Structure 1
Amino acid sequence: MLIPLLDARHPLLWIRKGQGMAGIGEALRLEFTGPNRFSDACEAWRQVAAAATVVDPLNSPGTGLIAFGAFAFSAQSRLSSVIIVPSLVIGKRDGVFWLTRVTVQGAEVQTDHPVPPAATGFGPEYRISLLPGAAKPDTYRAAVEEAVSRINHGDLEKVVLARDLVGRLPDDADLRRVIFDLALGYPDCWTFAVDGLIGSSPETLVRVDHGTVSARVLAGTISRGRDAEADHDQAVALATSAKDLDEHRFAVASVMNALGPHSRTLATSEIPFTLKLPNLWHLASDVEGALSDGSTSLDLIASLHPTAAVAGTPTQDALQLIERLEPFDRGRYAGPVGWVGADGDGEWAVALRCAQVDAGGTITAYAGAGIVSESDPEHELIETKMKFRPMVEAFG
């Protein structure tokens, strides 16, 4: 397990089904803000990769020079977007372990078979309650009502509205405990930790691997049933829900339109499938194609963000409404989080089911719901409660 190797207060991790990478230390840190944060990051990373001398006999995804990254949702966010090159990376994929050492002075990167650092035991147990933040339940219901009114007046088709929960870490809190619970409880999700942003996301924003691009789109949600029969009925209800199918259609179209200019062979299924998670069912669609323009994963997250699954349709109208109705800065919630290699390949998720832990130990968790014309404020509030469950349980 990679998690015991992490720094207890500043973990760097990207893992799914026990496979991925853990980072230790910071060999290089790059920060970006504003509307050009993605293009600035693309250019900066190209320069870093071009200047590096990389020794990588394994030549597998995640070996060689890599950086972990997390980007702010909004161009107006007060929280910076960040790319971090660890001093040491310990990785595992398809039964193969590796270790990458990074030396900044000589711009050298070397991957080999590992003699990993010793794992350390977790710190004392702790339990934290996450309580409503700036968006109280009544505030959220009122925002949904206004959004539905705007949609029914033809101002837009869909908007995703989020709310927040807040808490505070003890001074000696070991974040690896939370990450371990997330990875164990949600093995099919991307469990991540980058610069205080921690979570387990079910949604792959984009993956680039040797010229192939893929994504998994999630939109449309229902809770799991209490027994096998009720669970089946819930899945059927979701798969036949006009409201959820409409929401999903907007999200898939958003991704196809964004990736279309980069791939001539882009394809997705006509009908979404139901994806089972421990606490929820989602409507899901996979998108895949061959890259036709040499784009990197950083180029593609710039094209994709924000998708309709986290913003709405039309995008600019939805973003304006989010700015007006949400009483907080989303920070990196619903932004891209993942990793990029020197060749531009990488894996990026949408930062969902997550919380940001700041330097003072304040925790802010986020969850949102897609609002369309058929949305009911109480139902959408309940949906956010279900989506908060991974973080509430991990901290509590």
Structure 2
Amino acid sequence: MSRTSNTTGADPAFVLSRPQRMVSASAGATMFRSAHEAVTALRSGRISHIVGALPFTPGAPAALWAPDSVTITQTPHEPGAPATPRFDLDAALPTPQEHRQRVATAVELLADPAHPVRKVVLARAVRAASPEPVRAQDILDLMVASDPLSNGFLVDLSVAGGRYRGTTLVGSSPEILVRRTGNEVLSHPLAGSARRVLDDPAADRAAAEALLASSKDHAEHRFVTDQVGAVLRERCADVDTPAPELTSTPAMWHLGTPITATVPLAGPSALELAIALHPTPAVCGTPTAAAARVIAELEGERGFYAGAVGWCDADGNGEWMVSIRCAELAADGTALLAYAGGGIVAESDPAAELAETTGKLQRILGPLGITELPVGVG
């Protein structure tokens, strides 16, 4: 892989930290709000790398660019030791009561055999404010330091224009949408979740075992693996979909399936595969188009939450993570909007789904010193 150095001393505009690699990149003058235009530029050889973010809604403006400089290391990001910023929660969007009602509405739709949707993912957000400007780099450091696998990402969304100018998406995603290394391809979708009980090992293990035994969660997970496998089989060879396994994160247990495949070296790039796979039923639902319409009706515009963040080089190598466990940091560094969602099927319980999003929100809020959501927010 090629490596160049950013010698400006400025904070990077893009960072993706993973256990086996860290990619850090500067801003760049060649920008793409269309993912397909970025693919064309890579294929032409005019540029060596693409970095950035894909929005949740395909066709909405992306935040992709060819960086002026890229640094790729074979070790994860090494976080500094920033002080924990002070954020005060000021609103839930929507309120917990409204989120439960949205879930109840979705459950009613899904229980109707005549309705086409079998699963839909509904999300909510909480807004927090800081009296002092906070650096996105400091939040990234906290995310990476609090993740056993050193997962973390930071993306300047300015390329998307409008309200995203100066906004940074920062978080710690555990979910690999797709990674391509040479001719090897991996997608590791997560669907089906349970909140961890970190102060009680026995209860934590019981939560994991209950998830692994849950027919409801396995059915939800199967929607995802079926679709991911089908998309990869259209573009790859030797697609292998093993049985789901437990995957742990600092806040949650998940059902996860590492799906592998191969492609010719001149085959679809990591970015092309990401475009084909996104959005999976893990963040949207199934069937995709019908589930997306339900999300738009019940939830509204998501922006870059539940999109994808990543990189790709001219040889087709790269990695794209699903942009979950994340928050948008405003341009002035004083406002934070954190997101979490959950998959809804006909057997879902609105109160349990609200609790699941609360657990997932802790992944981004906990390292910022917010350990509990107050009444009216959580």
Evaluate the alpha carbon distance shift between residue 197 and residue 42 of structure 1 in structure 2; reply closer, same or farther with a 3 A threshold.
same
For the pair 1:82 / 2:63, whether they are aligned, the reply is yes
Q: Specify the SS of the correspondent of 2:172.
A: strand
CA contact (8 A) 2:126 2:339 kept: yes
For the pair 1:310 / 2:310, whether they are aligned, the reply is no
For the pair 1:267 / 2:240, whether they are aligned, the reply is yes
The Cα offsets for residues 329-373 of structure 1, whole Å up to 9 and x where unpaired, read as 211111111111121210001000001223243322110000001
For the pair 1:175 / 2:136, whether they are aligned, the reply is yes
- What's the counterpart of residue 15 of structure 1? 17
Q: In the alignment, which of 45, 48, 52 is matched to residue 69 of structure 1? A: 52
1:158 and 1:338 mapped to 2: Cα distance?
26
TM, length-normalised to structure 1: 0.81
1:125 deviation in Å? 5.0
1:319 and 1:203 mapped to 2: Cα distance?
20
Q: Specify the SS of the correspondent of 1:344.
A: coil
The Cα offsets for residues 230-256 of structure 1, whole Å up to 9 and x where unpaired, read as 222111100001111111011111111
AA partner of residue 276 (structure 1): S
2:85 and 2:217 mapped to 1: Cα distance?
38
1:350 and 1:238 mapped to 2: Cα distance?
22
The Cα offsets for residues 235-287 of structure 1, whole Å up to 9 and x where unpaired, read as 11000011111110111111111111011210111x21101222111101000
Evaluate the alpha carbon distance shift between residue 376 and residue 131 of structure 1 in structure 2; reply closer, same or farther with a 3 A threshold.
farther
Unaligned regions of 5+ residues in structure 1, if any?
53-64, 98-118
Q: In the alignment, which of 149, 155, 168 is matched to residue 188 of structure 1? A: 149
- What's the counterpart of residue 105 of structure 1? none
Q: In the alignment, which of 359, 366, 372 is matched to residue 386 of structure 1? A: 359
- What's the counterpart of residue 135 of structure 1? 94
Q: Specify the SS of the correspondent of 1:266.
A: strand
1:86-235 equivalences in 2 (<5 Å) = 86-93=67-74, 126-154=85-113, 155=115, 156-170=117-131, 172-188=133-149, 190-195=151-156, 196-225=168-197, 226-235=199-208
AA partner of residue 22 (structure 1): S
- Structure 1 stretch displaced more, 128-137 or 236-245: 128-137
1:337-348 equivalences in 2 (<5 Å) = 337-348=309-320
1:302 deviation in Å? 1.3
Question: Percent identity, aligned pairs only?
Answer: 34
Evaluate the alpha carbon distance shift between residue 129 and residue 31 of structure 1 in structure 2; reply closer, same or farther with a 3 A threshold.
farther
1:295 and 1:249 mapped to 2: Cα distance?
25
2:318 and 2:271 mapped to 1: Cα distance?
8
- What's the counterpart of residue 51 of structure 1? 46
1:389 deviation in Å? 0.6
Evaluate the alpha carbon distance shift between residue 386 and residue 344 of structure 1 in structure 2; reply closer, same or farther with a 3 A threshold.
same
The Cα offsets for residues 149-174 of structure 1, whole Å up to 9 and x where unpaired, read as 00000211100000011123555422
- Structure 1 stretch displaced more, 84-93 or 180-189: 84-93
CA contact (8 A) 2:136 2:154 kept: no
AA partner of residue 104 (structure 2): E
For these two proteins, the number of residue pairs brought into alignment is 347
Evaluate the alpha carbon distance shift between residue 142 and residue 43 of structure 1 in structure 2; reply closer, same or farther with a 3 A threshold.
same
- Give the 4+ runs in structure 1 shifted more than 6 A: 119-124
Unaligned regions of 5+ residues in structure 2, if any?
157-167, 370-378
1:184 and 1:259 mapped to 2: Cα distance?
33
AA partner of residue 216 (structure 1): H
1:299 deviation in Å? 1.0
CA contact (8 A) 2:311 2:320 kept: yes
1:6 and 1:279 mapped to 2: Cα distance?
34
CA contact (8 A) 1:207 1:213 kept: yes
1:94 deviation in Å? 5.8
- Structure 1 stretch displaced more, 121-130 or 336-345: 121-130
2:172 and 2:84 mapped to 1: Cα distance?
20
1:259 and 1:310 mapped to 2: Cα distance?
18
1:211 deviation in Å? 1.3
2:286 and 2:313 mapped to 1: Cα distance?
32
2:366 and 2:204 mapped to 1: Cα distance?
21
Evaluate the alpha carbon distance shift between residue 232 and residue 394 of structure 1 in structure 2; reply closer, same or farther with a 3 A threshold.
closer
CA contact (8 A) 1:189 1:201 kept: no
1:229 and 1:145 mapped to 2: Cα distance?
32
1:179 deviation in Å? 0.9
Q: Specify the SS of the correspondent of 2:144.
A: helix
Root-mean-square deviation over aligned CA pairs: 2.5
- What's the counterpart of residue 371 of structure 1? 344
1:11 and 1:94 mapped to 2: Cα distance?
19
CA contact (8 A) 2:151 2:173 kept: yes
CA contact (8 A) 2:227 2:281 kept: yes
